[in-house]
Structure 1
């Protein structure tokens, strides 16, 4: 019966779509905005009825341009057809009394298929950009799903992520399945469970504790400079993406397990692992909707999985098994004076955690998150920073001048006190965007209110009541490219962090930096990432390089695969070392 209804609806949608396609350049080219509008005199503005938002295209827009700006005919058929069969959708399944944005966002199946799955799976991870487009069209608050609201307002950030004591924020379970690490601290759904897991890890990631890593950081930076020196003599092309992946991985692996992965000694292996992580990230959007496929692949015996699993995914499964083996080894041994202390020996011996929080599966999830996030995200920031230091000589000159004026600044803590190198790092973080997609929060026990700032028609600003259980989000793309906060937002400009004549603007920029998120669920490894960044950027300033077959598209935010991903097919940032400064 249901299939019959859908077939009839799609046929009806076909006729509706065919009728809606403009046959000449005189017809209005936006099907979303054509209803509810009265005809207007030539050259005048259309009259609005029922308060509907109307956006007109240029009436000379050609038919081929209409196809480029609006959904394809096939998508249009799907939209109209599913709307016919889903208008009866029950109003009791989700809180629908608060309508924000598009009416069709209220239909579960339609919205999830057309604008939840298609842009992330069929199209190359453009959903974050689609949401930005919706905000441009409809304003700062937009309903993007049956129970999902996106807010593009810097003043609302703390309401979503850092509301203060007494206000709990849970994660949205439906958006938490992409990477399959649900029992990690980052995958914890409820506020209370996250707090318990986070408190067990916090001592290891304090600024003071990270300061003990200075010998390891200095050793790894020395290895990087040895690689640069050899490449200068041999004129070898280096892949900075592989080098920084290995650097960050070695540090976080040592910190987690008390032993070194030594990836800087094998850049070929670093390249393979970096590419494999990229493949896993590219599958995250698919896994968000079809996680059972990933889980099935993981459950296959190695002899079968080796034949049916793609190589990159297979290598990542092996990576998780290797982590599981290390966790198993740690859990199998009791604490001893000869044991190298690490995060997981600390968790094993913690009296504050119940046995369920020390299970092999949970600690494997925790380790997977720490290794992947502690490697890939800072690698991206280092790629961005080094690319612009090479392509923007004035920035490199300013950095070198500051470092020359402070020759005694060698440790991470000392370098972090220097304003310009800190500005370079902040700008690299800003254009890396942290977690790039929606990072929703659910208010489990309170309603949230959003009041419009101003209205174009002079009416009183409306206050929206968002009931408890609503999934609220913004994104780093919306905030970090907000031109009222970051003028010329896509330009790499460290000077925006060193202004002295407008302290209010600088304070707002710092408050709106979401690379590490805000609130109690902010990035656990923020201080570790900054320590890695500052010593590596200082080392960058000691070498002259030129790019090799690398463009800005190799460091630009082109695709949202949970983190910022450059153009598909990018080989990374490749360089030739031309001299030592």
Structure 2
């Protein structure tokens, strides 16, 4: 056979193989659909058949449907149609029933593991947020808990106070300014400076560097915008972080500066851990006894190093990931809570006056230096913070956990090993629990029922509850009291519908894409008037 004859046969052969491959792929997809609809352990659970068949259903609502992050709206519609228990994708069950919250997010000794895809998004599997195993998570959490206890946070007020003074200076510098102050940027600079100082012993100065503060805020925004995509492809971030960033840094700086800034934070944290390890190799462990006598360890890394964790749990890579977990979680959520609380107070002048009168009184009685425990006892102030936390319901994303045993819900037996999720807004914005749930009504807490108090879960519940609750409260009380006591503020071109209420699920609730943030004008500095 001549060579020309051979080449004439090749296209036919290639076409045959291609057709065979397509047929095999089609057969596989059809068999997978049949299995998921008829034979999967979750096949009998209610929900749209398309959602039970493929995760591309969720992909459409989170990625393709404008403005993105819309599946949480679709999930609410599923519950309206099918009831309190639905199957939102092939492998997961979601429940909208406050009565089940204590069951799923149970305290020790109940064991709940995390669902792998939900931990992969941040590419920090060695931090407590990304830890899958219940037992490993508990050990890691115990190791760093001395940094987050109420006693430790109370003892650190002198450390936090200079950062509060800087925050006050930022507001003072904007009195009568033509430019409005973006509260999320301003408060993020504050919470980031506090976390670096308290957790890592590093003095940063985001509050006095507007350009750096805005760049950091934009990096956090970039993470938020990417979250719906990361939820669909949770393994992707780990792959991107594994790339040699130094090689791509010039391109990132030019075309994706927000991502470049985020990766720079990774580099800074790795260097911080490296410096810690180098310092410890010089000083040895002679200060362990002294550290144990202190209310809190010197840094987060000291806490890990001095803990009862096994040696391989104290390596630099794990410290680096734990450090980033604390930085990202604490800084961003803390700044949002502060900005939202300020919005609600300024949007309700009658409540604001009551809060300011309380704060002014405690400032007078303490000679201008009130402790957190004094501020916590102020009825309207503490109730306003509590109500803002309820309304903010920071985490809009589903929070799946896995039980090692079958769980029963209203006649439905959910097989062990099934990811089961619930959503904080379904609890905190439930009109049956909190009448007029989307209204800012601090006085609802003056006569709250036991059930309402039990359903106050802005920090979660159970073994996976946010470890930074007391730290967040300390930051909020100190900073809000200082700002409200000194300045007269007013909202600037800020509305609930566009700038506060969330329209997208980006793990944290995001407002409209047209929002320019929660902004204020600083009208009067009372200290300057006294001078």
TM class by smaller structure: 0.7 to 0.9
1:189-228 aligned at under 5 Å gives the runs: 189-228=132-171
Aligned to 1:449: 408
Partner of 2:488: 544
Higher helix share: 2
Query: Displacement, 1:148?
Result: 1.0
For residues 245 and 478 of structure 2, the distance between their equivalents in structure 1, rounded to whole angstroms, comes to 43
Residues 177 and 170 (structure 1), Cα distance of their counterparts in 2 relative to 1, 3 Å cut: same
**Residue 497 (structure 1) aligns with:** 445
Q: Which residue of 1 aligns with 2:217?
A: 274
Per-residue deviation at 1:93?
Answer: 7.8
Q: Does 1:251 align with 2:194?
A: yes
CA distance in 1, matches of 2:51, 2:516: 38
Distance 1:519 1:85 in 2: 39
More moved, 175-184 vs 562-571: 562-571
Cα deviation digits, residues 184-208 of structure 1 (max 9, x gap)? 0111101100011011011111100
**Any conservation in 2 of the 1:5–1:85 contact (CA below 8 Å)?**
no
For structure 1, list consecutive stretches of 5 or more residues without a partner in the other structure: 10-81, 452-462
Separation in structure 1 between the aligned mates of residue 493 and residue 37 of structure 2, nearest angstrom:
55
Alignment of 1:362-511 (within 5 A): 362-407=318-363, 408=365, 410-444=370-404, 446-451=405-410, 463-499=411-447, 503-504=448-449, 507-511=450-454
Match of 1:130 among 44, 64, 74: 74
CA offsets 1:117-136 (integer angstroms, 9 cap, x no match):
22222231122222112111
Aligned position for 1:332: 278
Shift of 1:321: 0.9
Scaled by the length of structure 1, the TM-score of the pair is 0.78
- Could you tell me the TM-score, scaled by structure 2's length? 0.85
Alignment of 1:559-570 (within 5 A): 559-570=504-515
Corresponding residue for residue 310 of structure 1: 256
Range moving further from structure 2, 412-421 or 435-444: 412-421
The higher-RCO structure (CA 8 Å, 6+ apart) is 2
Q: Which residue of 2 aligns with 1:355?
A: 311
Partners of 1:413 and 1:531 within 8 A in 2: no
CA gap 1:96/1:547 in 2 versus in 1, 3 angstroms: closer
The structural deviation recorded for 1:159 is 0.5
1:147 to 1:233, Cα distance in 2 relative to 1, 3 A: closer
Bigger drift between 322-331 and 560-569 goes to 560-569
From 295, 300, 304, give the equivalent of 2:244. Answer: 300
Structure 2 unaligned spans of 5+: 1-19, 292-296, 527-531
Q: What is the SS of the residue equivalent to 1:231?
A: coil
| Aligned-partner SS, 1:89 | helix
Contact 1:98 1:465 in 2 (8 A): no
Inter-CA distance 92–165: structure 2 relative to 1 (3 Å threshold): farther
Q: Structure 2: how far apart are the matches of 1:297 and 1:364?
A: 17
- Tell me the residue number matched to 1:574: 519
1:43-73 per-position Cα deviation (integer Å, ceiling 9, x unaligned): xxxxxxxxxxxxxxxxxxxxxxxxxxxxxxx
| TM-aligned CA distance change 1:222 to 1:486, over 3 Å | same
Contact between 2:118 and 2:234, CA under 8 Å: does it hold in 1?
no
Shift of 1:324: 0.6
Aligned to 1:323: 269
Match 2:93 to one of 116, 128, 149: 149
Show the counterpart of 1:27: none
| C-alpha RMSD of the superposition | 2.5
